[in-house]
Amino acid sequence: MNNPLRILVGCAALAAGLWVVSSPAPAGTPDLPKESYKKAADADLKFLQTRLDELAKADEPSLRSAKPATAATLMLATYADILGDAAFKAEILKVGEAVYAKKYKEAAEMAKKLTIKPGTPGKPGGPLAKLAAFEKEKDKDITYLPTTMKLFSNTQVLKIPAGLNIEKDLKDMIAKTNPPPKLDLTAIEILAVRSAVINEYALLHPNEKARDKDLKTWDKWAKQSIDLSKEIVTEVTKKTPDPKVIRTKLTLLDAACTECHGKFRFDD
């Protein structure tokens, strides 16, 4: 999963014929409710602070654990634009730079002091957050993409803390049990916000296989994934959400992950 050549777009495509898609718009902050961003920001800041404490205390910190922490700072900085908290954005990116430099104790201390204070909401469609260290890389795609995609991985991989568990949580939400799993609307809302933002990064930073052979399909699937994530947020935040609609869209999201992975994953 650490290899950038093994990444999928996240949750990307629907079955052929279900969509009529125009050319993808440039990547930018997804148009989602400010309240949804705030829920995701609170959850991701807690995740980051916990992860940095683990890294700071570890005798041999794992890069597998550090990469999702770096990704969380990018996510939080992107949320901050919509939430109108410029000071938080500036500080969280400093945390990201410290994590990338393996200064885990320093990063942990900085993160402990941070709180999100929403101000005047920003407009969606603005540029995604960037790390100065990533911008200096010769190939930025192989920094941003695998870093943000790491958040889809399970929180524990071979007993090593990894990402936000998005992939497993999604599968658990749509498990074919009788009765079906109870829907936690807040958890689904946060998952969909994360998926939308991560896939905006995917749209902006395609992997090598997509760039070399099929960038058009990559772009189409990334945009479809973003749109589907937005639709999930819209449904779960309705006054009376429809459980059937929610499960259908979550199922499509899960199926898309597998299909896109099959097309863009590099074989050994």
| Cα angle: 171, vertex 175, 181; to 5 degrees | 110
pLDDT higher than threshold 90 for residue 15? no
Measured distance CA(21)–CA(67) in Å, rounded? 33
Tell me the pTM: 0.88
Residue 267: pLDDT band (50, 70, 90) is low
Torsions phi, psi for 63 (to 5 deg): -65, -30
> How far lies 183's CA from each of 97, 169, 189, 225, 247, in Å?
37, 11, 11, 21, 9
| Cα angle: 51, vertex 84, 219; to 5 degrees | 70
What is the pLDDT, as a whole number, of residue 264? 78
| Residue 54 near residue 76 (C-beta atoms within 8 A) | no
Q: What is the pLDDT of residues 164-199, one digit of tens each?
A: 999 999 999 999 999 999 999 999 999 999 999 999
Measured distance CA(24)–CA(252) in Å, rounded? 20
Strands (E), 93-246: 156-157, 160-161
Residue 30: pLDDT band (50, 70, 90) is very high
Please give the full DSSP string across 125-153, using - where no structure is assigned: TPPPP--HHHHTSS-THHHHHHHHHGGGS
| Residue 71 near residue 146 (C-beta atoms within 8 A) | no
Measured distance CA(63)–CA(47) in Å, rounded? 16
Q: With pLDDT > 90 as the criterion, what percentage of the chain qualifies?
A: 72
Residue 158: pLDDT band (50, 70, 90) is confident
> What rounded mean pLDDT belongs to the chain?
88
Q: Kindly state the average pLDDT of the residues 202-228.
A: 89
Q: How many CA atoms lie within 13 A of 180 on its CB side?
A: 12
Q: Which of 104, 91, 105, 204 is nearest to 147 (CA)?
A: 204
